[in-house]
A and B are shown apart, each in its own frame.
Chain A
């Protein structure tokens, strides 16, 4: 399998939240990404936090329609880590930065996210529904997550949950009804 085809396959597995693929990528990319943080006034704990945040961003971005990657997943993650870490350093107002110069022929993708503010705003607006969704049984939570968060089609959801296509739809309807009861309480 060519390199491009392999990247696409890995990206598809990560898009679907395949735990094994996430673990493989973590092992593959973490030392490479951590080196930038460690060389630029970061600790091991900093490297771990920034890397995990970047991995979250990668997985969410991979779920957007028509997302394509120009470089390897590792290079993409490196770009996000670099951007996040520089932003953090800027916020900590450290002086005398002595940055390592990257090889000039590499271009890294920069992603801008403001996850924390959005999360606080949404929590305030939707507290009742948020609490209700946490009370749902695992099967409903999983189904709503696959449909509305991971944005998988019913055809993709059915084999994951081992349901028929029609049952996926019926079950989702029941889960939404359950949510309505919980929010009405």
Chain B
């Protein structure tokens, strides 16, 4: 006979309705109750598939609204489209009156324009291909993902520190994670979160060092730590042999792996023509 669970609580958990205290207590039970964990996983799968089916249904509904309006002669006739364009035309700039200018005036305007274009171009290259710009671009989305996948049980030890990170209170987060002793089994994971707090505080060198420490042993967060280390080294401008070796290893083709895909994209931008221009200036 199927074990009776509190299904309302399971549903509240998977849709995110439990408060922090109740969620923590529930997750503690999940860590020890395999049957409960299986039931929760099934509900989570239902949510994932509901997204796909829901999109399909919604798409079909929107198409049917469109078809219904089309049948009623809305928006698809040549005249309707033309009227739509006429009604919603944006104003086009009028042809400027060109006065005849002396040559030296034309040349000075052209020189000024060229300086602006070059300055703008240099600014764009630096904004998009500078070391810190690349690192913070690729690490931006990763920050929250680091917090979601702590192994069951470990989050309790590091819970307060993770809350500081979630609240973007990086000073407190750093103090918390720095205080986790080396003898504690969560030490390396604490170093990963310390590195993250340092990265967010722009202490890139320290972040790289602690991420390297976190990545030393094979754990479920080793790849994340390596990825953070790569981005911290880049942001710190430490793009020597160690950085290149890590980036090359990480960007080995593996389309199913998120970090390897991101590393491949970073490598492409890092070796791009625009970055070469920037470095040669």
Contacts and interface: CB of A to CB of B under 8 A. Distances in A.
A176 B45 CA distance: 11
A171 to B, nearest CB: 12
B194 to A, nearest CB: 30
Interface of B: 7-8, 11, 15, 42-43, 45-55, 57-59, 61-63, 65-66, 68-69, 74-76, 80-81, 83-85, 87-90, 92-93
A167 interface: no
Nearest to B80: A31
A56 B81 contact: no
A31 B87 contact: yes
A147 to B, nearest CB: 8
B89 A150 contact: no
Contacts of A145: 50, 53-54, 57
Contacts of B47: 148
Interface of A: 17, 19, 22-23, 26-27, 30-32, 34-35, 38-39, 44, 47-48, 52, 55-56, 59-60, 100-103, 115, 119, 122-123, 125-126, 129-130, 133-134, 141, 144-145, 147-151, 169, 172-173, 176, 179-180
Q: Is the interface of A mostly helix, strand, loop or mixed?
A: helix
A60 B66 contact: no
Given A34-B75, A179-B46, A22 B62 contact: yes
Nearest to B42: A180
A183 to B, nearest CB: 8
A44 B68 CA distance: 16
A151 B15 CA distance: 8
B33 to A, nearest CB: 18
A66 to B, nearest CB: 13
Nearest to A173: B7
Contacts, number: 118
Contacts of A133: 46, 49-50, 53
A38 B48 contact: no
B66 A103 contact: no
A122 B54 contact: no
B69 A101 contact: no
Contacts of B92: 100
A127 to B, nearest CB: 9
A31 B65 contact: no
Given A17-B58, A35-B85, A52-B63, A149 B53 contact: yes
B43 A176 contact: yes
A148 B55 contact: no
Contact of A122 (B8, B42, B43, B49): B49
Contacts of A38: 81, 84-85
A34 B55 CA distance: 23
Nearest to B54: A149
